[in-house]
Amino acid sequence: MTTIAELPPGFVDKVLSAQSTFRSVMDAMARPGSVQRIVPMAGTPDTMMRGTAAIALTLFDHDTPLWLDARMSESSDVLKWLKFHTGAPVVPDSSIAAFALIGDGGALPSLERFALGTNEYPDRSTTLIIQVDSLDAGRSFELRGPGIDGVATLLASIKPFDLFERLRFNETLFPRGIDVVLVADDAVVAIPRSTRVMSKGG
């Protein structure tokens, strides 16, 4: 039983840390495939990586319903930490979540179960935040789309292995779709719905 006093802390400087973290995430979203670093430190409960914790403190609040996968929600410390520092409601229904935190990508549910937005309001969709093993080594992927000058190459070791194949449904759904933020420790890569990813193997 952890009391609030024993919870890992949030940002030391809430305002400037949130700004710095947001710029990293914004740059990641604007330049898909580029690896951005999250500088500010925050306490990290249990299964949560540094990057994930910083993004949570930067973007979550009482207006953003959260969905946690089994790995994230098995820890009462994660739930308490999120509740205390962000106040975001944790919901059991993934189709109404603004953000989903995925600790174990191997058990990622079908992407259709998240909010995809509507054709009139495609922005009302879930942003997936997936913790992965590595964003600088592993299989090689080619990315094309807005934000990329020609082709971008991403080296990543991620689960589920077929994530980018599954994200291909963004192409037919557009402008509806799922935006993904991949986190490995302090490294962040975003794959917005407009990005097309091809596996190069390796």
Partner 1 sequence: MNAPAYNFAYLDEQTKRMIRRAILKAIAIPGYQVPFASREMPMPYGWGTGGVQVTAAILGPQDVLKVIDQGSDDTTNAISIRKFFAKTAGVATTTSTDEATVIQTRHRIPETSLHANQVLVYQVPIPEPLRFLEPRETETRRMHALAEYGLMHVKLYEDIARFGHIATAYAYPVKVNARYVMDPSPTPKFDNPKMDNCPALQLFGAGREKRIYAIPPYTQVVSLDFEDHPFEPYRFNAPCALCAAENSYLDEIVTDDQGSRMFVCSDTDYCEGRQAAGHHGALSAAPYKDKAQEASNG
Alpha carbons within 13 angstroms on the beta-carbon side of residue 47 total: 21
In whole angstroms, what is the distance from residue 173 CA to residue 193 CA? 9
- Nearest approach, Cβ of 3 to partner 1 (angstroms)? 25
> Which residue's CB is nearer to partner 1, number 93 or number 171?
171
Question: H or E stretch including 84?
Answer: helix 76-85
> Which residue's CB is nearer to partner 1, number 8 or number 122?
122
Query: 151, 156, 202, 201: which is closest to 180 by C-alpha?
Result: 156
In whole angstroms, what is the distance from residue 130 CA to residue 103 CA? 6
> Which residue's CB is nearer to partner 1, number 161 or number 174?
174
DSSP letters, 146-176, are TT-SS-EEEEEE-SSTTHHHHTTHHHHHTTS
Interaction with partner 1 in 142-181: which residues (CB under 8 A)? 146-150, 174-175, 177, 179
Taking the CA atoms of 35, 37, 42 and 47 in sequence, report the sign of the dihedral they define: positive
> Which residue's CB is nearer to partner 1, number 71 or number 176?
176
Q: How many residues bind partner 1 (CB under 8 A)?
A: 40
Tell me if 20 contacts partner 1 by CB under 8 A: yes
Contact 125, 183 (CB under 8 A): no
Q: Which of 2, 7, 14, 77 binds partner 1 (CB under 8 A)?
A: 14
Interaction with partner 1 in 65-104: which residues (CB under 8 A)? 98
Query: 46, 83, 31: which is closest to 62 by C-alpha?
Result: 83
Tell me if 52 contacts partner 1 by CB under 8 A: no
Tell me if 192 contacts partner 1 by CB under 8 A: yes
> Which residue's CB is nearer to partner 1, number 70 or number 124?
124
Please report, as ranges, the residues that interact with partner 1 according to CB under 8 A: 14-16, 18-20, 22-23, 25-26, 29-31, 58-61, 63-64, 98, 118-123, 125, 127, 146-150, 174-175, 177, 179, 192-194
